[in-house]
Structure 1
Amino acid sequence: MSTTVTSDTSQYSMKDIIRAAVSGWAGTALEYVDFQLYGLAAALVFNHLFFPGAAPGVAVVAAIATYATGYFVRPLGALFFGRMGDRYGRKHVLVVTIILMGSATTLIGVLPTYEQIGIAAPILLVCLRLLQGFGAGGELSGASVLMCEYSPANRRGLVGSLVGLGTNSGTFLASGIWSLLIAVLPSEDLMSWGWRIPFLGSCLILAFALWVRRKLKESPVFVRLEQAGVVEGSGDAEGEAATALPGADEKKSHSGMRAVVIAFLLRFGMSGNYGIITVSLVAYLATNLGVDKSVGANALMIGSVASFAVVPLVGTLSDRIGRRLSYIIFSIVTIVLIVPTMLLINSVAIPLVFVGFVAIYTLGPQTLTAVEPATLAEVFGARNRFTRMAVTREFGGFGVGLGSLLASSLIAWTGHWWAVAIEMLVFALCALGAGIAMREVAGRDLTDLRDGA
């Protein structure tokens, strides 16, 4: 007698779905508050507080290199939390990841500086960045998987884009806080104690996210996988009910490593330009062009406000025209904007600087961020979606640290913007090439055990 697999969607009320959406948004917002706070601090103050005595350009590179270390450990966190999420469920993992991230960020706010404890200060900073990165390795992918597995297939791009709004919210909050501090505090106060405020304040977002997640139900897709016996702890692995799932009769994914490579390039292309724009160009404005420190933070804040409209619109568009065409269109838009943006920034005319920053930020990385959650969730099969999505996403996320570090190094070496423009072009071509090569995945059955790309 065969066993029937059901998702029992009746147990999920609209309140449950909203809670899942808010949970994903809040966790992602905290992740990007954490990393954007540090990114702006690295560009504006950490070079003085933790790496004094070095030449200005070298100190900026050192501070941003510490920023990059957080990304180097994220794949380990992705592998660890991804395997836990695929074996035991999404919701419990998301509680642990957010505690790790939020705690590490708060502790940065109480760190002594180099002047107070010497070389131990940057060492402790690196340790907290590693802890922060380890937790973040599972957070965004877990939130994306959970939200997409709750979502109706024809609205998955829109619902998944709420994760993108989380990244945008984090960038907006971090940029807004830094802009406010720079505006109201004298430079001496900012350098002595003001820089600690945003890091300590991140604990408020942590408390809110934990409050939302305390009653979160497991995703209906994972519940169905448990009923089918294809996840650990659900009884006989590959049980009889598994035959009710699409692709259960195939031992291997029909696309093999193809899905991994495509997902990596999609992520790598977006993340590299995100790191360049939000970290290196901010530092370039203040250090190389002599523009006031508040300009870069304010430009990012305005871009974040604009993205609140752009991100859900792009997510909705991807539900209509597909993920593949969305990646192709917006990667080309990024390529077209690179040189005009750099020319506007180098004009050092503040209105033109704002136009350049806002245009490249909202129509470049933010559009791809909107499409990414649903795309990566649909690219991978149900059996190990969390693990493969998290690991691929975090290896692709090396682009953020690599992009910002390489761009800052190129600027310090050459003193010109053209090398950074070429670097941005390379990252954009990675996303464009992957978009052209991928199969359309929009609307796939997320209980399908096979890869989609």
Structure 2
Amino acid sequence: MSDISTSKVPERSTKDLTRAAVSGWLGTAMEFMDFQLYSLAAAIVFNQIFFPDVSPAIGLIAAMATYGVGYVARLAGAVYFGRMGDRIGRKRVLFITIAMMGASTTLIGVLPTYATIGILAPILLVVLRLVQGFGAGAEIAGATVMLAEYAPPRRRGVISSLVSLGTNSGTLAASGLWAILLAVLTEEQLLSWGWRLPFLLSFLLMIFAVWMRRNLKESPVFEEREARVEERPVLEAGLKERKGRSFLLALGLRLGQAGNSGLVQTFLVGYIATDMAVNRSVPTTAIVWGSLLGFATVPLVGMLGDRVGRRPVYIGLTVATMIFAVPMMLLITGGGTLGLMAGMILGLNVGVLGLFSLESVTMAELFGARNRFTQLALAKEIGGILATAIGPVTAAALTAWTGHWWPIAAMLIAYSAITLVAALLSPETRGRDLVALEDAR
């Protein structure tokens, strides 16, 4: 382990830390609520609302493609806002990104449908997805950096895991809203106006999150870095000398969680409803229960990472996911309603939420203070494009081609194997000095 924390950074009160934690949690909750609202809508109704003139299988692929296009914009947002966050600070960037995400999500709720304006409807949907993605490209990276830089070194894992609890909370809120709509509305009501309600309700969360961000103090690590005027030439030179090892390791750590998330939380919902002809409320209810269990899983994994180190926990989670991939699909496809729900709940907690809890702190610790925001945002969003965006579309095409569930299990194993290799090659970063300019080695 390198660069053990020894730097003196500006002190923050318990109130400041609490505000940072709530702000990071809210922003990430909003991001994942927005994207889960969209992913569930894409899996459940958007193929009928925005792509009604094609077969159900092609409509599902097209809906998943509009889900995936937002990840292209996220990469642009990661570059733009990541560099801004390393230059002018974390706080201002986080204020801008949350406003962009909230506005675009709300506007999706008032879009006219294909039946009203024809081909212009899916075009407008894609435009709003691009705006939403551009703002989201640095949101979770910024929240991760902010919490990691606020947290005391010995508790950094569990405090940083609050970012993952935000993703869990957003997923729960979105899945809960959709579960209620599917339970109380008829098919006609859902397709005519019910699908709009979750997007419109997200506006309330945006207002509260923006208010929290306005009163947040800057990261103490960023302030300490800026105060070291004599090191500025070293910092600027270092930007031109990056070797990329930490970035590649972070990308590998990201792929397992991102790929598993796209398959379990997005694709499987549509696959179960369309290919297995199971009531759509069953997989959404499973995600709700899985997200509730995640409130225990996420901080537990964060505490384990603080106690025994990041690498051992990463290795354990990825190996468990690889072993469980085939049994999970057997439960989902042949275990009845209870088996289906058990498979999704376990898959969500082990292969998605558990890895995300650990990812939040480990990726922040891999990078030096000079470009942490930019590098972390790029690793997250490139990983998102390669896994979360492309994964569901690929899975839809492969399952349609083979007529079987085995490509889903194979993709879960492949994504997790990449992260396992990255974890084995990574340095142990627990307790690292986050003011250090250089990357971990």
TM range (shorter): over 0.9
Aligned length: 434
**Aligned sequence identity (%):** 50
Q: Deviations along 1:403-445, whole A, 9 cap, x unmatched?
A: 1111111112211011121111110101101001101011100
After superposition, residues 62-211 of structure 1 pair within 5 angstroms as 62-211=62-211
Of 393, 401, 420, the match for 2:408: 420
Q: CA 1:66–1:223 in structure 2 vs 1: closer, same or farther (change >3 Å)?
A: same
Partner of 1:310: 297
Q: Which amino acid aligns with 1:440?
A: E
Which ranges in structure 2 are unaligned for 5 or more consecutive residues? Answer: 1-6
User: Alpha-carbon deviation of 1:196?
Assistant: 0.2
User: Alpha-carbon deviation of 1:7?
Assistant: 2.9
- Preserved contact between residue 47 and residue 62 of structure 1 (Cα < 8 Å): yes
Q: CA 1:273–1:175 in structure 2 vs 1: closer, same or farther (change >3 Å)?
A: same
User: Alpha-carbon deviation of 1:53?
Assistant: 1.6
- Preserved contact between residue 254 and residue 450 of structure 1 (Cα < 8 Å): no
- Preserved contact between residue 74 and residue 136 of structure 2 (Cα < 8 Å): yes
Q: Per the alignment, in what secondary structure is the counterpart of residue 177 of structure 1? A: helix
Of 281, 292, 312, the match for 1:325: 312
User: Alpha-carbon deviation of 1:254?
Assistant: 9.5
User: Alpha-carbon deviation of 1:73?
Assistant: 1.4
Partner of 2:249: 262
Partner of 1:395: 382
Query: Is residue 372 from structure 1 mapped to residue 366 from structure 2 by the alignment?
Result: no
User: Alpha-carbon deviation of 1:252?
Assistant: 7.6
User: Alpha-carbon deviation of 1:250?
Assistant: 9.1
Q: Which amino acid aligns with 1:7?
A: V
- Preserved contact between residue 341 and residue 356 of structure 1 (Cα < 8 Å): yes
Q: Which amino acid aligns with 2:149?
A: E
- Structure 1 outlier segments of 4+, above 6 Å: 252-255
Q: Deviations along 1:7-63, whole A, 9 cap, x unmatched?
A: 331xx2211110000000000000000100000000000000000021111100000
Q: CA 1:250–1:50 in structure 2 vs 1: closer, same or farther (change >3 Å)?
A: closer
- Preserved contact between residue 10 and residue 221 of structure 2 (Cα < 8 Å): no
Aligned alpha-carbon RMSD (Å) = 1.6
Partner of 1:233: none
Which ranges in structure 1 are unaligned for 5 or more consecutive residues? Answer: 230-235, 243-247
Q: Distance in 2 between matches of 1:35 and 1:252?
A: 32
Q: Distance in 2 between matches of 1:55 and 1:146?
A: 46
User: Alpha-carbon deviation of 1:251?
Assistant: 4.8
Query: Is residue 276 from structure 1 mapped to residue 249 from structure 2 by the alignment?
Result: no
Q: CA 1:251–1:73 in structure 2 vs 1: closer, same or farther (change >3 Å)?
A: closer
Q: Distance in 2 between matches of 1:201 and 1:410?
A: 35
User: Alpha-carbon deviation of 1:256?
Assistant: 2.3
Q: CA 1:186–1:387 in structure 2 vs 1: closer, same or farther (change >3 Å)?
A: same
Q: Per the alignment, in what secondary structure is the counterpart of residue 138 of structure 2? A: helix
Query: Is residue 440 from structure 1 mapped to residue 428 from structure 2 by the alignment?
Result: yes
Q: Which amino acid aligns with 1:265?
A: G
Q: Which amino acid aligns with 1:149?
A: E
Q: Distance in 2 between matches of 1:429 and 1:402?
A: 17
Q: Which amino acid aligns with 2:41?
A: A
Query: Is residue 383 from structure 1 mapped to residue 370 from structure 2 by the alignment?
Result: yes
Q: Distance in 2 between matches of 1:227 and 1:28?
A: 29
Of 328, 333, 340, the match for 1:346: 333
Q: Per the alignment, in what secondary structure is the counterpart of residue 73 of structure 1? A: helix
Q: Distance in 1 between matches of 2:238 and 2:34?
A: 41
- Preserved contact between residue 257 and residue 416 of structure 2 (Cα < 8 Å): yes
Q: Which amino acid aligns with 1:36?
A: Q
Q: Distance in 2 between matches of 1:393 and 1:28?
A: 14
Q: Which amino acid aligns with 2:203?
A: C
User: Alpha-carbon deviation of 1:348?
Assistant: 5.6
Partner of 1:409: 397
Q: When the two structures are superposed, what TM-score results if normalisation uses the length of structure 1?
A: 0.93
- Preserved contact between residue 286 and residue 293 of structure 1 (Cα < 8 Å): yes
Q: Which amino acid aligns with 1:163?
A: V
Q: Which amino acid aligns with 2:187?
A: S
Q: Distance in 1 between matches of 2:231 and 2:319?
A: 45
Q: Per the alignment, in what secondary structure is the counterpart of residue 202 of structure 1? A: helix
Partner of 1:245: none
